[in-house]
A and B are shown apart, each in its own frame.
Chain A
């Protein structure tokens, strides 16, 4: 850990000014935000992140730490803690999948500190990225190569990969936001904007170091999750190598709007298997208008993985991902929903 500049703005407006000033002084500034700190401090200890400036956003909880139902949407402030959202009655009752994706993540101790905004921006757990003694990692050092391609890649992605990076997006909550067509409210030194959540993360392509479409200095202020017929019949299913406190090997965020046993609308996002939160639109299309049988679920799961590109140790993720999705769909089909 080396010396850097630290500030603690007391409002969103002030934070943006801080960042604007920092970028004016040093256009290539490696400035970073500190929210819960559970990713940021970890990466600083590992020397993966070496910010020249740290802008502490903890004072923004008052302004953007809300969790609210506004009649048509769930509004989740970016600085609400994971634990607060997971336990919130509106979240639990209206969109169970969101609550599940949060309470199945990390540990109670971490969920008490970590924020929703920080959660969607957490970095990959690829060991070659996190350990600087490995020289080849395009995400950490653009152009250096990718140690995972020929290395131990059991935990790596099979969807959305490129020749430059196959790192898995590790989070859980993002899949729920993606499946539910959430949007992201962004504040920036150059003004605010709202984008679909689906546009927040970028697949690695040839530039794996660019992970999101956020511009320098921009802050996520809020997630808006619009209600839909599929809102309540939703669930997040997570398969992992131990029973708790572990990232997904494969996960599925699924929401269904059923008419009898026919699918009116389906929303499917996959985790643990892709480089970014992964929306399985092919699977959704196959389900729409069909009866939700095991056969239909299997066909959808297969469609979701047609483009899968496994490596030496992660081929199992294709099947496991499919089984996970099948399980989630069938479980939802028989789920009792309130009202």
Chain B
């Protein structure tokens, strides 16, 4: 993928978690440059119902236009399905400093056993002494947790 275009995309934030760029999220799947100077960008949704996807597509278009790319086609690809394992390490660090616990690696934690909770470290004090309040949080991609040591509630970007 063209580094110049990737640098532009690194300036496009996720509207709901603005600390992350679309690159950090891992939703940019490909950038195709056509002979006629048109650019096609392939994106994939995080969750099928994520309302941020339309805004993200618009923001990508605007950022590209601001850098002189007037003709940009954005295509949504569903397969392979997005996973939090595609989130960059840098993105995970940014999430943590923003106060959101980053997703844990999928192999270790995506469990379907009933009443099981992932042991998620608190993004504020790093304590593992936390408990889940709800599997569903302020957006589709997050769960609600509470730290029993520093007493702060926090969002966990759940592994998917």
Q: Tell me if chain B binds chain A.
A: no
